[in-house]
Amino acid sequence: MRIDENYFFREATLRICGSLEIERALWDCFMYIRDHIPADIMLIAVYDPVHVVAEIIAKADLNGGELTSIKSVTPPDMKHIIEEMKVNPQMRPKVLVTNRIGDHPIMKYISANVGYPDATFMAIGPKLEWDFIAGIFVGNNGSKKYSEKHIRLFSLLNEPFAIALSNYLRYREVLRLKEILADDNRYFQEELRQQTGDEIVGAHFGLKQVTEMVGQVAPLASPVLLLGETGTGKEVIATAIHNLSSRKNGPFIKVNCGAIPESLMDSELFGHEKGAFTGAFFQKRGRFERAQGGTIFLDEIGELTPGAQVRLLRVIQEKEIERVGGTETIKVDIRVIAATHRNLETMMAEGKFREDLYFRLRVFPIVIPPLRDRRADIPALVQYFMMKKAREMGFVEIPTLAPGSLEKLMHYNWPGNVRELQNAIERALILSREQPLTFDNLSNTIPRTNTIIPETDVGRNPFTLEQTTSQAILKALNMAGGRVGGKNGAAKLLNIHPSTLRSKMRKLDIPFGRKGAV
């Protein structure tokens, strides 16, 4: 019976190019062509000339199609034959045919992995000047010889199979790179957690009320507004909210709104389309799109332009954005955490901040007290930053504080808050040359009293017994260079047994040993 070649080509091509899942496309094609060509099996094999390896990546038979990864190392003469075929067109027939696959000089290298060593096979493949070398094999185990008609029909599928295979190989590479990016994202998220820490220093003292509020709001999707002076640790609190939420495995995108030029604000936050403005040579995703499935932290929210404020309100209310110069509405699944040291209510009265946006952001405000109002946290912060910075700077041992240094730090006003304390410790470590830290350059102190009574953020009450105990332990640890037991350890200085000291430290959540290596 005569076959319409155009119809055969069309129907086979629709099946070959009908799916990026190459095993499904191969099986669909196999089930169609076996009505016209004797076929018990079809294979796709790719050849790696660098490693001289042939790999069967997919096969199809009456049981269905499946992906495989059957590799076989080919001898050097295989590479020689392929090189000869590149330079000599007469050695490149459109279809390779063999009545017994095990006897063919090229196809014999995959016959051991096919399971049909005595089968009749045909093979076609992309042109050798393409960027990959591969073969599409069809075989029958009934020793039915392929006629000129069969060879002609099969040769028609060379280009469709080449296109489908090229698309699949690129698709497979995209999937591989996607998995690498996902793995990198998991790694960097874990690195971020290790750097920022799961614990907030001061969580049980000066920031106790703040951490309780963080625990309440973190599992929810509500916007959060962090209020506090510059340097109080708003980013640390935002990170803690993200890490305690169901979005912790998603991206955490930090944006300093005050650092973005006004002319670039909309483009940076919401992205732009190609040609949207002069210099927009390509499409760009904005920070909100990059935060998809995660959290976006908008620091210095008071610096947003009026236009950006309108767009942000739409993000919060409608969960959608539009790129600059675009007309397509893009849905986003993100959580917004905003922060500012400015008085937004005053800005509203002056017409500089939208009232509707303010109340949408202020669903759950968290006020972070300045360091001068939570002096009970200073000993723990000093211990934390000393260990962290000493480790970063490669110190063999953790330096100690010179006599009177902790009292000096407790009496300083800290206008730059925790950030200034961190910088002061780093500067002291640089100047100390591994000697006890002195902090001689601190000048702005509060009036001294006969009794030092540090203040907390809750009612400005004196230390509780736990806070006093914690301060004494931390001071002893500083003097002992972080050692708990031993001749010169903190337990010896406090005149208690090391196991008793460790028990108290566990109760007060004071790190030691491996836990203390921040």
Side by side, the strands of the sheet bearing 133-140 are: 64-73, 53-61, 41-48, 133-140, 120-124, 96-98
Verify that 424 and 336 share a domain, yes or no: no
Which of 155, 171, 187 represents a domain boundary (last residue)? 171
For the segment 248-268, the average pLDDT, to the nearest whole number, is: 90
CA distance 516 to 143: 74
Q: 279 and 135 in one domain?
A: no
Closest CA to 213 of 224, 221, 197, 202: 224
**Claim to verify: residue 458 and residue 481 sit in the same structural domain:** yes
Which of the four pLDDT bands, split at 50, 70 and 90, describes residue 458? very low
User: Are residues 232 and 160 part of one domain?
Assistant: no
Q: Is the pLDDT of residue 451 over 50?
A: no
342 and 278 assigned to the same domain: yes
Q: Is the pLDDT of residue 255 over 90?
A: yes
| pTM, 2 dp | 0.57
Lowest-confidence region among 258-262, 337-341, 409-413, 438-442: 438-442
Residues 210, 215, 221: CA angle, nearest 5 degrees? 110
CB 78 within 8 A of CB 52: yes
DSSP letter string, 438-458 = --TT---BPPP-SS-----SS
User: Is a pLDDT exceeding 60 seen at residue 77?
Assistant: yes
Among the three residues 107, 137, 171, which one is the final residue of a domain in this structure?
Answer: 171
Name the domain boundary from 367, 399, 423.
367
Q: How many domains does the chain have?
A: 3
Question: Is 226 a member of any domain?
Answer: yes
Residues 59-86: what's their mean pLDDT?
79
Q: Which of 212, 199, 209, 210 is nearest to 243 (CA)?
A: 199
| Arithmetic mean of pLDDT, 465-484 | 76
User: Does residue 133 fall inside a structural domain?
Assistant: yes
Predicted local distance difference test score (pLDDT) of residue 501 = 85
Question: What pLDDT does residue 230 have?
Answer: 92
The answer to whether residue 142 scores a pLDDT higher than 60 is yes
* Mean pLDDT computed over 444-466: 44
Asked whether the beta carbons of 200 and 236 are under 8 A apart, the reply is yes
> What is the overall mean pLDDT for the chain?
83
| pLDDT score of 461 more than 70 | no
Q: Are residues 203 and 322 in the same domain?
A: yes
Query: Is a pLDDT exceeding 70 seen at residue 515?
Result: no
Same domain, 417 and 324: no
- What pLDDT sits at residue 475? 76
Question: With bands split at pLDDT 50, 70 and 90, how would you rate the model's confidence at 128?
Answer: low
pLDDT tens digits along 476-489: 877 777 788 887 78
Q: Is residue 516 part of a domain?
A: no
pLDDT at 454 over 50: no
The answer on pLDDT for 466 being more than 50 is yes
For tokens 């009970």, the residue is 376
Section 483-505 average pLDDT:
83
Classify burial at 54, counting beta carbons within 10 Å of its beta carbon; exposed 0-12, middle 13-18, buried 19 or more. Answer: buried
290 falls within a domain: yes
Measured CA to CA in angstroms, residue 393 lies from 154, 201, 429 at distances of 68, 21, 9
Query: Are both 58 and 13 inside the same structural domain?
Result: yes
Per the CB < 8 A criterion, the answer to whether 369 and 229 are in contact is no
CA 66/CA 54 separation, integer angstroms: 18
Tens digits of per-residue pLDDT, 289-309?
999 999 999 999 999 999 999
Helix (H) or strand (E) holding 36: none
Q: Determine the structural domain holding residue 307 and report its residue range.
A: 197-367
Shared domain for 213 and 357, answered yes or no, is yes
Same domain, 155 and 208: no
